Structure 1
């Protein structure tokens, strides 16, 4: 059975597939509600796909606000009511009296939590703004972070734990780039966005450090399309916004938004 299911997913995803199947089976067999950590969109897709194979189970996904990218899941037998269940999400509000807080970005705030030993799956979306940041975090981690997060970079900060309805959401900032590329190959666009040689772009892709739409992608020649989101560990991520046409020389004009 595992082999049959695994063939539909990338080998790097098999461990999560097995974990998700176990969540579903335990929820149904033990008549219990299961609440997961935060899932990225690909993990949520895998969990939904597996759950749709089991008519005795149901699922609710919620990231603390409409449109959340990272969401927690509730898995339960089909007869349970999930609408009123607490998703266990809190807002960790970060502020500072230091004007330099305006210079901090998403990566600074993420790095501050990881430096405290916090795992990525305990953290939901991060909303960084000019006066501070609102993290979505698991309630189980909120008090620990409230007590221990005292600095982001070199900026001293204050924290407060709030309910999700106090979230101040911010739009992701994209630095738009206009590219002229020979093709929509992954390695070519990655090299242009991150200003790497083609040879240096291929190395992290083949090493398994690249994801396209949150799915592992180790093929440098994979073809991208408008709407694709590409992330590369250690470099950042970008979105292919539009393929605007072909130049007279036969090259493709591509608009890309780099997350900053």
Structure 2
């Protein structure tokens, strides 16, 4: 791969860039077809940008439903039609009849799955629904999870494998916050959203625990913009919904959607 391309990516992303370019070259030169595991939106963006640089390769992204966040990619020579290809994913339904799911959250299910030794990239989006959750998983991981996932955060559960058309989607609940900020600097907005002092948000940001649009961001002064998705490991994530304007005192009114 042209070395100058590395400049477009964070050093932590270079390993994935190399891997993605290898998939692309194999498709172009060996006519190989590659079905990836689930990619996060940043990885999908990197892969798409690299595919677009190669005239003989194309790819398809699919996460099991139209608004999926995490998606599998199918990379192939450009003459191959990809629309009808099987993306090899299924729905893992997790349920319990004891009513204790009221307190279980996305992280509880994710923790239980990873606790079985499952890699994160075998798991797509997780939808917490009434009475349990529906989780997109790769077919090669589905049977293992079906047989071994029996407990989520001390709650005994049953699992079932369902086709994609039986997927139930979670209602995304955003707690809306209206902020008045001096600037759109990332550290200031993160500090206000999570109610931390500016000093306390600097440490995790500079330690590489903050992502903007799924890209690692270590610069506390980075300006945020409308539509940005921000996550701080250990605290949660939020979306900049709207920059509403300037107050009479010259401050910026920002509407934030914090994921519950």
Both structures adopt the same fold (TM-score exceeding 0.5): yes
User: Unaligned stretches of 5+ in structure 2?
Assistant: none
The aligned residue for residue 243 of structure 1 is: 243
Deviation, 1:190, is 0.8
Match of 1:64 in 2: 64
How many Å separate the matches in 1 of 2:105 and 2:174?
12
Structure 2 counterpart SS, 1:37: strand
Determine the structure 2 residue equivalent to 1:158. 158
Q: Is the 8 A contact 1:173 1:259 kept in 2?
A: yes
Whole-Å separation in 2 of the counterparts to 1:95 and 1:247: 49
Per-residue deviation, 1:246: 2.3
What is the match of residue 134 of structure 2?
134
- Residue 129 of structure 2 contacts residue 168 of structure 2 at CA under 8 Å; is this kept in 1? no
What is the root-mean-square deviation in Å for CA atoms of aligned residues?
1.2
Moved over 4 A (4+): none
State how far apart, in whole Å, the 1-side matches of 2:130 and 2:248 are.
Answer: 43
TM-score of the superposed pair, with normalisation by structure 1: 0.96
Residues 166-213 of structure 1: CA distance to partner in whole angstroms, max 9, x if unpaired?
101123211111222111110111111112111110111111111101
Tell me what 2:215 maps to: 215
Residue aligned with 2:49, SS: helix
Q: In the alignment, is residue 46 of structure 1 matched against residue 46 of structure 2?
A: yes
**C-alpha separation in 1, matches of 2:228 and 2:244:** 15
Cα distance, 1:126 vs structure 2: 0.7
Equivalent residues in 2 for 1:221-260, closer than 5 Å: 221-260=221-260
Match of 1:84 in 2: 84
Give me the whole-angstrom Cα distance separating, in 1, the residues matched to 2:112 and 2:174: 22
**What whole-Å deviation, never above 9, does each CA across 1:28-86 have from its counterpart, x for those lacking one?**
22212100011111111111111111111110110011111110000011122212211
Aligned length: 260
Kept in 2: contact 1:183–1:251 (CA 8 A): yes
